[in-house]
Amino acid sequence: MKTPIKILIVAALAVTVVAAVALKQGKNESKDVSTVAALASPAADAGSRASLPRLVDLGAGKCIPCKKMAPILEELKKEYAGRMEVEFIDVWKNPDAGKAYGVEMIPTQIFYDASGKELDRHTGFFGKEDILAKWKELGVDVKSEGRNPNPEGSQRSEGGKTEKN
């Protein structure tokens, strides 16, 4: 009597495994469709926007380096409006976006030229001056258009006093 019970248990277990695999494949197929749509969005977004270089920062609202970058990104967005686009995507709230951009760690900054071509990626905290230096290294002049990124046109001297250019 023990053998038929064992066979019944093994059969029930096999049916459960097959059902679980079938359900998972069904979910993956629906995810694949949304992932394909999301994969098209980074390039599609670039094409539908004005011809400006674009910085996309993928992070999360509760990630500490991401939090430190938030004011830098807002500052860049305001100071360089009309010269570059700055976009933040929270990958914890929108995991498909992280997959679409191929992000493995956060924060990740992706630099795009005006045509939407990816130029470079950086992972980790990236300060404002580092971001601007990266644009310059990539041959993208975001400081042009006759507007001084420093509204007062000033810089600090060694003594901490402000000097006009």
- How many angstroms separate the CA atoms of 53 and 134, rounded? 12
- How many angstroms separate the CA atoms of 80 and 52, rounded? 11
Which is nearest to 43 in space by CA: 106, 100, 109, 123?
Answer: 100
Which is nearest to 55 in space by CA: 31, 40, 28, 77?
Answer: 77
Q: Is 66 a catalytic residue?
A: yes
H helices present in 49-156, as ranges? 64-79, 95-100, 128-137
Q: Active site residue: 52, 63, 70, 138, which one? A: 63
Q: Is 112 a catalytic residue?
A: no
Count of residues in the chain: 165
Q: Active site residue: 56, 66, 84, 140, which one? A: 66
DSSP code, position 129:
H
CB atoms within 10 A of CB 53: 21
Query: Which residues form the catalytic set?
Result: 63, 66
